[in-house]
């Protein structure tokens, strides 16, 4: 977990000083329209106060509400009922999970669009009659004529009266084409555009609008509200319904796509889906309790790419790792970042390919993983692919996006990765890459089974491991001697024997011996497995047979059968694209939801099925592609497991 307050000067301040600093900057931003520090720094200041004095009343007076007294309105005023509040914020998964524990049911997630909040009212005839700013939250400023000149705000809707709230923003392509260099940020430009005295000038800026709330109508769920807004013709901000296991994945998905979105976003907004639960939870003076923003930590820094190291993955791929000059990001020094695979590396370099000594922009994706965001200025030395494995010398070849080699059986590179993977999946704590390398060199651990033979004395023979620690580590290993079968299988690191296949095997068979004896055809006939996976899993198991039997002998592997859960599609995510013959897309979505599945609104990494019409499936097999199909394939290349199926297959699945 990242502590965003760490290594910040704020943490040294007394609570009182922190409080007055927060108040000062909040007023400077909201009332004087003249921020002195960056938003990221302001957020850190607030977090420092929250850490030191979680009960401080100043925390409930951030945002325009807290600066209310200083507000001066030039034009006419509009009262907001209910008030337009701020959002509660968090910066890590643990805090998000704590929030999730406070209610029942699922959550709707959408990007937090960084623009300006706007409120729009339609009368009983559906005419747009009032447009207003958020102002101090309870009172805003009337800007109706300007709001009418926002590109995608309907002037008339079919279903009035209604109040719609949302975020006015400037699309990044418009900003780059017309205003970059002239205005400091799309957000500031949007605020300026909406305050023009001459409404015709507002139009020139091409401000857009995302609707995220509708007031004055009963809904069962947040999701239903979004569909309703879309039906009225509003652009909705993309949203996905997720359960607890999808909370972090949604964040990772948007973080990964952040750079390619056409608007600025500073995080994600999570809202309780059930309106009944929302009403039960209510509001504080500052924010609704049923929503929370999980914010990005916008730290980025320049560095220089000096070298590429080639690391060997457990499946034998030789992957590029960038070595950069040290740069401080979100409280940690970054010197290395994975460049993932050859095609991602090539893309970074553009037409001429990646070069050493390039000036690069580094970020920590989601505030954690070091990531080379883009090349700012190319260097002078082209990156060359190694002709042999740096560890065992086996000759390399390019296979699509990856560099592969037929490694020697004792290739240190791949054995180490195998051990690392085993320790991670089996949750054998305390054995990171460094210590594993030392153990491997000392020939104390060269295969997974060796973990269970380590003694405290073995560990103490290593530098800097004292008796206490050594005993603790060995005790930790002992505790992991009774793994569930699916965990054990996945820990082997066999290609295609991931979470999904491991679970199936653990459910269907009762012993490791039985699993080792499975025939390829038998495995391939299991629904969702297929020929290629079956072939890889069987040959992987065969290859490691001795290893596996030895492990099975000393471990007590648990075969725990799960009761079938209600809902045959529980937790599975479906996306429909194109037309189907037998039912509408909406009905198909409903069907999935009724069976416990989920229906995200776009292609995401952990999507399970992308459903297309049967005719399209044929075209797809012949090489035809759409954006969605391409995106799914791209995720699959990065390790995703999105199955592209036709209508008939889908009907088969829901009849399960």
Ligand X SMILES: NC(=O)c1ccc[n+]([C@@H]2O[C@H](COP(=O)([O-])OP(=O)(O)OC[C@H]3O[C@@H](n4cnc5c(N)ncnc54)[C@H](O)[C@@H]3O)[C@@H](O)[C@H]2O)c1
- Is 306 annotated as contributing to ligand binding? no
Cα atoms in the 13 Å half-sphere on the side-chain side of 524: 12
Binding part of the chain for ligand X, among 26-34, 398-406, 457-465, 582-590 by CB under 6 A, reads 26-34
389 binds Zn ion (CB under 5 A): yes
- Is 538 annotated as contributing to ligand binding? no
- Is 39 annotated as contributing to ligand binding? yes
Q: Is the separation of the CB atoms in 128 and 144 below 8 Å?
A: yes
With the C-alpha atoms ordered 484, 487, 491, 495, is the resulting torsion angle positive or negative?
Answer: positive
Closest C-alpha among 452, 463, 394 to residue 422: 452
Q: Is the separation of the CB atoms in 156 and 128 below 8 Å?
A: yes
Which H or E run includes 199? helix 199-204
What distance in Å separates the CA atoms of residue 610 and residue 3, rounded to the nearest whole number?
37
Q: Is the separation of the CB atoms in 381 and 357 below 8 Å?
A: yes
**Residue 137, C-beta contacts closer than 8 angstroms, at least 6 positions apart:** 63, 64, 65, 68, 80, 83, 84, 85, 86
Q: Is the separation of the CB atoms in 510 and 557 below 8 Å?
A: no
Shortest distance, position 361 Cβ to ligand X, whole Å = 21
Per CB under 6 A, the list member of 167, 418, 616, 647 interacting with ligand X is 167
314 binds Zn ion (CB under 5 A): no
What distance in Å separates the CA atoms of residue 368 and residue 329, rounded to the nearest whole number?
9
In the bound state with ligand X, the residue whose beta carbon lies nearer, of 124 and 184, is 184
Number of residues that bind ligand X (CB under 6 A): 26
Q: Which of ligand X, Zn ion, none does 389 bind, CB closer than 5 to 8 A by kind?
A: Zn ion
What distance in Å separates the CA atoms of residue 522 and residue 655, rounded to the nearest whole number?
23
CA 23 to chain centre: 32
292 binds Zn ion (CB under 5 A): no
In the bound state with ligand X, the residue whose beta carbon lies nearer, of 34 and 55, is 34
Q: Is the separation of the CB atoms in 78 and 119 below 8 Å?
A: yes
For the chain, the helix, strand and coil percentages under 3-state DSSP, each to the nearest 5? 40, 20, 40
238 binds ligand X (CB under 6 A): no
- Is 380 annotated as contributing to ligand binding? no
Q: Which two tokens stand for residue 584?
A: 């509408």
68 binds ligand X (CB under 6 A): no
Number of residues that bind Zn ion (CB under 5 A): 6
- Is 239 annotated as contributing to ligand binding? no
269 binds ligand X (CB under 6 A): yes
- Is 561 annotated as contributing to ligand binding? no
In the bound state with ligand X, the residue whose beta carbon lies nearer, of 84 and 229, is 84
506 binds Zn ion (CB under 5 A): no
Per CB under 6 A, the list member of 35, 321, 332, 375 interacting with ligand X is 35
In the bound state with ligand X, the residue whose beta carbon lies nearer, of 293 and 312, is 293
- Is 606 annotated as contributing to ligand binding? no
153 binds Zn ion (CB under 5 A): no
Cα atoms in the 13 Å half-sphere on the side-chain side of 5: 14
Q: Which of Zn ion, ligand X, none does 391 bind, CB closer than 5 to 8 A by kind?
A: Zn ion
Shortest distance, position 101 Cβ to ligand X, whole Å = 21
What distance in Å separates the CA atoms of residue 523 and residue 533, rounded to the nearest whole number?
9
- Phi and psi at 359, nearest 5°, equal -80, 130
What distance in Å separates the CA atoms of residue 153 and residue 235, rounded to the nearest whole number?
8
| Residue 393-412 contact track with Zn ion, rule CB under 5 A, x = bound | --------------x---x-
With the C-alpha atoms ordered 261, 263, 267, 270, is the resulting torsion angle positive or negative?
Answer: negative
417 binds Zn ion (CB under 5 A): no
565 is catalytic: no
Binding part of the chain for ligand X, among 36-44, 371-379, 501-509, 642-650 by CB under 6 A, reads 36-44
Q: Which two tokens stand for residue 393?
A: 């010398």
Other CB atoms within a 10 A radius of the CB of residue 517 amount to: 11
Per CB under 6 A, the list member of 58, 59, 110, 236 interacting with ligand X is 110
What distance in Å separates the CA atoms of residue 487 and residue 393, rounded to the nearest whole number?
33
Catalytic-labelled residue, pool 112, 225, 417, 591 = 112
Shortest distance, position 300 Cβ to ligand X, whole Å = 16
Q: Is the separation of the CB atoms in 429 and 421 below 8 Å?
A: no
In the bound state with ligand X, the residue whose beta carbon lies nearer, of 183 and 310, is 183
Q: Which of Zn ion, ligand X, none does 506 bind, CB closer than 5 to 8 A by kind?
A: none
Q: Which two tokens stand for residue 620?
A: 């797809």
- Phi and psi at 13, nearest 5°, equal -75, 155
In the bound state with Zn ion, the residue whose beta carbon lies nearer, of 5 and 341, is 341
Binding part of the chain for ligand X, among 92-100, 109-117, 530-538, 605-613 by CB under 6 A, reads 109-117
Shortest distance, position 316 Cβ to Zn ion, whole Å = 7
215 binds ligand X (CB under 6 A): no
Query: Where do contacts with ligand X occur on this chain (CB under 6 A)?
Result: 25-26, 28-29, 35, 37-39, 42-43, 62-63, 84, 86-87, 110, 112-113, 117, 134, 167, 212, 237, 266, 269, 293
Residue ranges at the known binding site for Zn(2+): 389, 392, 411
Residue ranges at the known binding site for NAD(+): 39-43, 86-87, 134, 167, 271, 295
Query: Where do contacts with Zn ion occur on this chain (CB under 5 A)?
Result: 389, 391-392, 407, 411, 413
Q: Which residues are catalytic?
A: 112
């Amino acid at each position: 977990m990242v502590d965003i307050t760490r290594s910040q000067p704020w943490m040294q301040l007394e609570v009182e000083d922190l409080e007055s600093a927060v108040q000062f900057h909040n007023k400077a931003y909201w009332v004087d329209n003249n921020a002195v520090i960056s938003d990221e720094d302001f957020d850190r200041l607030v977090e420092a106060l929250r850490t030191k004095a979680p009960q401080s009343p100043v925390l409930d007076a951030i945002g325009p509400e807290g600066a209310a007294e200083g507000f001066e309105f030039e034009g006419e005023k509009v009262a907001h009922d209910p008030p337009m509040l701020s959002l509660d914020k968090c910066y890590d998964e643990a805090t998000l999970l704590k929030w999730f524990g406070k209610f029942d049911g699922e959550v709707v997630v959408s990007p937090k669009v960084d623009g300006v909040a706007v409120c729009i009212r339609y009368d009983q005839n559906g005419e747009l009659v009032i447009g207003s700013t958020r102002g101090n939250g309870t009172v805003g400023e009337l800007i109706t004529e300007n709001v009418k000149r926002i590109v995608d705000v309907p002037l008339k809707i079919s279903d009035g009266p209604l109040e719609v709230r949302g975020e006015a923003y400037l699309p990044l392509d418009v900003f780059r084409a017309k205003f970059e260099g002239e205005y400091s940020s799309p957000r500031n430009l949007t605020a300026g555009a909406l305050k023009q005295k001459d409404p015709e000038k507002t139009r020139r800026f091409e401000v857009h609008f995302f609707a995220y709330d509708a007031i004055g109508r009963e809904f069962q769920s947040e999701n239903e509200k979004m569909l309703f807004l879309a039906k009225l013709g509003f652009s909705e901000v993309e949203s996905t319904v997720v359960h607890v296991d999808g909370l972090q994945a949604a964040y990772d998905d948007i973080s990964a796509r952040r750079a390619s979105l056409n608007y600025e976003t500073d995080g994600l907004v999570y809202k309780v889906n059930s309106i009944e639960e929302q009403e039960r939870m209510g509001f504080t003076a500052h924010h609704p309790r049923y929503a929370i923003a999980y914010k990005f930590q916008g730290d980025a820094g320049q560095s220089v790419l000096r070298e590429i190291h080639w690391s060997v993955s457990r499946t034998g791929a030789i992957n590029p790792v960038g070595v950069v000059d040290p740069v401080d990001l979100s409280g940690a020094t970054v010197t290395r970042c994975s460049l993932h695979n050859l095609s991602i590396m090539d893309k970074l370099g553009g037409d001429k390919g990646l070069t050493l000594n390039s000036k690069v922009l580094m970020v920590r994706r989601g505030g954690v993983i070091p990531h080379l965001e883009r090349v700012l200025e190319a260097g002078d030395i082209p990156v060359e692919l190694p002709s042999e494995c740096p560890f065992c010398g086996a000759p390399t070849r390019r296979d699509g996006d990856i560099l592969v080699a037929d490694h020697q059986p004792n290739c240190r590179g791949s054995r180490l990765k195998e051990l690392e993977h085993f320790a991670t999946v089996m949750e054998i704590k305390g054995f990171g890459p460094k210590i594993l390398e030392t153990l491997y060199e000392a020939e104390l651990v060269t295969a997974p089974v060796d973990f269970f033979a380590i003694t405290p004395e073995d560990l103490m023979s290593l530098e800097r491991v004292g008796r206490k620690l050594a005993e603790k580590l060995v005790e930790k290993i002992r505790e992991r001697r009774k793994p569930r079968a699916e965990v054990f299988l996945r820990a082997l690191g066999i290609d295609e024997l991931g979470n999904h296949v491991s679970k199936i095997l653990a459910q269907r068979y009762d012993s490791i011996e039985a699993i080792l004896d499975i025939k390829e055809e038998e495995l391939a006939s299991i629904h969702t497995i297929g020929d290629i996976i079956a072939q890889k899993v069987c040959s992987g198991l065969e290859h490691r047979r001795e290893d596996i039997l030895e492990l099975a002998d000393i471990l007590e592997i648990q075969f725990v059968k799960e009761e079938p859960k209600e809902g045959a599609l529980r937790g599975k995510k479906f996306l429909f694209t194109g037309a189907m013959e037998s039912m509408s897309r909406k009905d198909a979505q409903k069907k999935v939801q009724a069976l416990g599945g989920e229906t995200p609104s776009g292609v995401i990494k952990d999507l399970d099925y992308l459903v297309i019409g049967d005719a399209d499936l044929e075209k797809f097999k012949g090489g035809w592609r759409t954006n969605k199909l391409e995106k799914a394939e791209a995720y699959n290349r990065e390790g995703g497991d999105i199955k592209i199926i036709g209508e008939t297959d889908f009907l088969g699945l829901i009849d399960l």
